[in-house]
Amino acid sequence: MTLLDVQNVSYSYDGIVNVLADVSFSVEEGTITGLVGPNGSGKSTLIKNIFDLVRLQSGSLRIGGHPHDSPEAKTLGMYLSSNDYLPEFLTAREYLTLMGRLFGVAADHAEAEELFRRFSMEGRYDHLIEDFSHGMRKKTQLVSSLVLRRPLTVIDETLNGIDLEALHLSEREFRRVRDEGRSIVLCTHDFAVLERLADRIVFLDLGQVVCDRPTQELVAAHGSVTTMVFDHLGSDER
């Protein structure tokens, strides 16, 4: 079943230049989708549209069949932003409690503490986020998404800044999320991660979807995601 449906979305910040131009794609339940594109291609703008952080100007966006700006849609999707802004005056436990209340679910603190241990943050769950390093904040964001189990999680560059051990664990956890029938949209410039994880790649360039294909098919045709991107960037059609 389709979990996220993006249809003909265009967006302009200034009313002159289209940052997104007629973007359409969909995300099925139980899948990992890689969202890739050069700097400034519109990935974050698209994500902001999906989560109603900027007002949709044209096209349609549905999450779980609900209009993206409805309360129903807003409980289904979680967005991990590319920055590490978290409420510094809360402990990690308080943060997860708060996030759980926003989504209307009870955070499983025992599971979160266990994930903190596995993410090499044992004993830090009751510490103020203010004292956390950049990587620890990123891992706190990841733990919150893993514990709160939203059907759709959009991860915008959150894997930047975490160490290899945490990346290894994250990949394992993301596969578990997929096996449980939930979906992830992973926005990253790390194509090796996507080749290992993503079922499908959506490539955005200059605000348009120029490739939307299963990863295996794409790698079979081009050799790698990097080659596909380089081929496109160097092509005459651009």
Least Å from the CB of residue 128 to ligand ATP: 29
**Does residue 235 touch ligand ATP according to CB under 6 A?**
no
Distance in angstroms (rounded) separating the CA atoms of residues 184 and 174: 8
Structure tokens at 87: 């409420």
Based on CB atoms, which residue is closest to ligand ATP, 15 or 104? 15
* Residues in a beta bridge with 153: 78, 184
Structure tokens at 218: 């794409």
Based on CB atoms, which residue is closest to ligand ATP, 41 or 147? 41
Based on CB atoms, which residue is closest to ligand ATP, 43 or 139? 43
Distance in angstroms (rounded) separating the CA atoms of residues 77 and 63: 8
Based on CB atoms, which residue is closest to ligand ATP, 13 or 89? 13
Report the residue count for the chain: 238
Distance in angstroms (rounded) separating the CA atoms of residues 87 and 45: 23
Task: Count Cα neighbours of 99 within 13 Å in the Cβ-side half-sphere.
Answer: 29
Stretch 13-52: interaction string toward ligand ATP, x if CB under 6 A: x-----x-----------------x-xxxxxxx-------
| Number of residues counted as binding ligand ATP (CB under 6 A) | 10
Q: Identify residues 45-104 at the interface with ligand ATP (CB under 6 A).
A: 45
- Residues lying near ligand ATP in the complex (CB under 6 A): 13, 19, 37, 39-45
